[in-house]
């Protein structure tokens, strides 16, 4: 991720925030279209799930300027998602659905440069979550000690 890519992602995200409910619906519709088997991983209210998704993406986008803090949160998120049944293969499908959603939501503002920036950022976020999913489970005290040592 370059500083320019981070800037593009953060500025384009500001155009998604006003349509986040619609973006969430688009995302999940596309995700389940690409892989209907993923629907079984979602048991709750999808509107609430969409709201949590958009808030988490917003947190990640804002945190791109403070990657050290973001990495810890993403690794924890990856561990939690593994517990829900998310596999490494699902990250590609999620990425495809997310980029498609951005294309639909941003329209002409989703330039090739913006697409590449989001692709680069998503690759880093997904890889970090997968690292967390692959890491051995640690107690909260071990996690805190590791964070302090880093």
Q: What DSSP letter does each residue of 88-131 carry, written as one string?
A: HHHHHHHHHHHHHHHHHHHGGG--HHHHHHHHHHHHHHHHHHHH
Q: What's the pLDDT band for 118 if we cut at 50, 70, 90?
A: very high
**132 in Cβ contact with 75 (< 8 Å):** yes
- In tens, the pLDDT along 49-105 reads 999 999 999 999 998 988 887 888 888 888 888 777 788 889 999 999 999 999 999
The two most distant CA atoms of the chain are separated, in Å, by: 48
Q: Residue 42 and residue 60: Cα distance in Å, rounded?
A: 21
Q: Please report the domains of the chain, with CATH numbers, ordered by start residue.
A: 3-149 (1.10.490.10)
| Tokens, residue 141 | 């005290």
If you average pLDDT over every residue of the chain, what do you get? 88
123-142 average pLDDT score: 77
Number of H helices, E strands in the chain: 7, 0
- In tens, the pLDDT along 25-57 reads 999 999 999 999 999 998 889 999 999 999 999
């Amino acid at each position: 991720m370059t500083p320019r890519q981070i800037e593009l992602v953060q500025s384009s995200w500001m155009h998604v925030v006003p349509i986040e409910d619609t973006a969430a619906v688009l995302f999940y519709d596309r995700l389940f279209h690409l892989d209907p088997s993923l629907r079984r991983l979602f048991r709750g209210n999808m509107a609430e799930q969409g709201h949590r998704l958009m808030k988490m993406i917003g947190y990640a986008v804002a945190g791109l300027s403070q990657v050290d803090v973001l990495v810890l949160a993403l690794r924890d998120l990856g561990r939690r998602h593994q517990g829900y049944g998310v596999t490494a293969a699902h990250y590609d499908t999620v990425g495809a659905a997310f980029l498609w959603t951005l294309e639909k939501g941003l329209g002409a503002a989703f330039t090739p440069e913006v697409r590449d920036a989001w692709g680069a950022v998503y690759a880093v976020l997904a890889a970090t979550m997968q690292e967390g999913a692959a890491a051995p489970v640690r107690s909260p005290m071990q996690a805190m000690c590791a964070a302090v040592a880093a």
